[in-house]
Amino acid sequence: MSTLQAKLIVDVLKKAGLLLDARVANPSTVFSAYTTDSRQIQPQGLFIAYQGVRFDSHTLLGELSRQFPDLGVILDRSAHWEECRSFSFACLVKDSREAWAYLAAYRWGQPQEQLQLIGVTGTNGKTSTVWYVRQILAALGESCMTLGTLGVYCGQEHLPTQHTTPDPDDLFSALALAVQRGIKWVAMEASSHAIVQKRLGPIRFDAVAFTSFSRDHLDFHGTMEAYFAAKWELITHYRKPGGAAWLSHALGAWKPANAGALGCRTYGPDGANEGEAGPWELVYTPQDLQLSHSDVCLHDGKQSLQGRLPFGGDFTVDNFVVAWALVRAVSGLSLAGDRWQQIAPVPGRFEPVSSAFGLGLAVIVDYAHTPDALEKTLMKLRELTKGQLWVVFGCGGDRDRGKRPLMGRVAEQWADRVIVTSDNPRTEMPEAIIDDIIGGLHRPERAERQADRRQAIGQAILRAVRGDSILIAGKGHEDYQIIGQERLPFDDHKVAEEWIVARSASIQG
């Protein structure tokens, strides 16, 4: 871990093009640590002030100057520059968050320069694509680190994270761990929040993918245009010159006119590559899609591969295909079709609860928490379901309210039986969230309300009949439920298994 010396900090910020002004009483001063949390300030520490979503820590600088005379500060609000005269070290920068990321990279030894990096963005599909990159490399005998919604996987070791794309210190310390363990390949999710908040700093990816785009996070971005612009920066700003860039056919009209000139290539299913957006450079043909497997033929203009994947759903195949292309782009390696069955399904992404098959039911747990993702998942289950299709879902509290009626409308359109329940209500009243969802239905009387998610899942499993499918949507891999300020244990997959056991016992009894 590199020393936080005043002169070197200034040099790092200057080289990054972030430094606007600096006051350095003693260039050889060494800071014990840096923090963005005023509660974690250490003696002779460095404080990075920035405007957060709810609070601007620049407002603390006056008080901190009296409490911590040896404190160094980094800030990006010139209006507060004069308040920093009493600090022995102060840097005014263009963006404090980006400065944080560059300092974190420096502190951890610039690990991004020693790795082959894959970045994936998209409203849906990020987690699955990154997971499949890891699985493909593992099948090729290569270790990989992945960072994203499922946490950090360093080879076989699993480490939890707080964000889809971790904060700079967690991010660069994880990359340093990969270097330490001798891992060459890293695949990570690049969320729109992380891009706007400059968490990636000096990272430049060897290959990137944009998997999908639909409504989400408008509580943060404001408009769809701003949301897309944030994700598009992965292509234009965070990709190495000449790095591979794959765009999903699902971008549709959102695909910029200059994408081809930027070296972007498109992937998608055979038969859909007509019109202005086609043809695709990477095409796959789903030949047999079942809940238990998918037979697929893949064509990239140079070769054709055919194989069976041990999971179903054309959108999951979509994510596998681009993961295959990303691995080949960074490693030159290609996983043959006869080895595709080694690829494990993604936790909580179109994941079957296998014990339900013995009852003649299909119970699927999926993370679908946007209108687009819910629609795609329900449409696929509609194709594969002989009986009735049930859906149990809710929407997160303290998040984009506008998508709630849209998700209700999607559920009504594609499912035969709709049970609206709680997701992570957080500080909102669950019944109010349910009201918003049901408000989108043309026939609200068709939906059942059950705010208790455990009971809602049980109602579906106990009442469904042979041939029915049940989608439990919204939480996927999550093993908790946030109610108020509490994070309580709750796992959709485990709860479903408990109800299946209860139903089986009642039948035997």
Measured CA angle at 324 (ends 373, 226), to 5 deg: 45
For domain 351-508, the CATH class is alpha beta
In 3-state terms, what secondary structure has residue 270? coil
Q: Which is it for the CA torsion 214, 219, 222, 226, positive or negative?
A: negative
pLDDT at 187 over 50: yes
Report the chain's mean pLDDT, rounded to a whole number. Answer: 92
Residue spans of the domains in the chain: they are 4-106, 110-342, 351-508
Report the C-alpha gap between 204 and 15 in whole angstroms. 16
pLDDT at 504 over 50: yes
pLDDT tens-digit profile of 393-425?
Answer: 999 999 989 999 999 999 999 999 999 999 999
Q: Tell me which H or E stretch contains 188.
A: strand 185-189
pLDDT tens-digit profile of 372-393?
Answer: 889 989 998 998 899 999 999 9
* Helices and strands in the chain, H and E counts: 14, 26
pLDDT at 276: 41
Report the C-alpha gap between 485 and 487 in whole angstroms. 7
- pLDDT confidence bin for 509, thresholds 50/70/90: low
pLDDT at 34 over 60: yes
Report the C-alpha gap between 457 and 282 in whole angstroms. 39
Beta bridge partners of 189: 120
Beta bridge partners of 158: 153
Secondary structure (H, E, C), 366-425: ECCCCHHHHHHHHHHHHHHCCCCEEEEECCCCCCCCCHHHHHHHHHHHHCCEEEECCCCC
Report the C-alpha gap between 66 and 73 in whole angstroms. 13
pLDDT tens-digit profile of 291-341?
Answer: 778 999 999 878 889 999 988 777 789 999 999 999 999 999 999 999 999
pLDDT at 277: 42
CATH number of this structure's domain 110-342: 3.40.1190.10
Report the C-alpha gap between 464 and 197 in whole angstroms. 45
pLDDT at 330: 96
Of 117, 127, 76, 118, the residue nearest 98 (C-alpha):
76
In CATH, what is the architecture of 4-106?
3-Layer(aba) Sandwich (3.40)
What is the 8-class DSSP label of residue 56? B
Report the C-alpha gap between 251 and 133 in whole angstroms. 21
* CB atoms closer than 10 angstroms to residue 287: 11
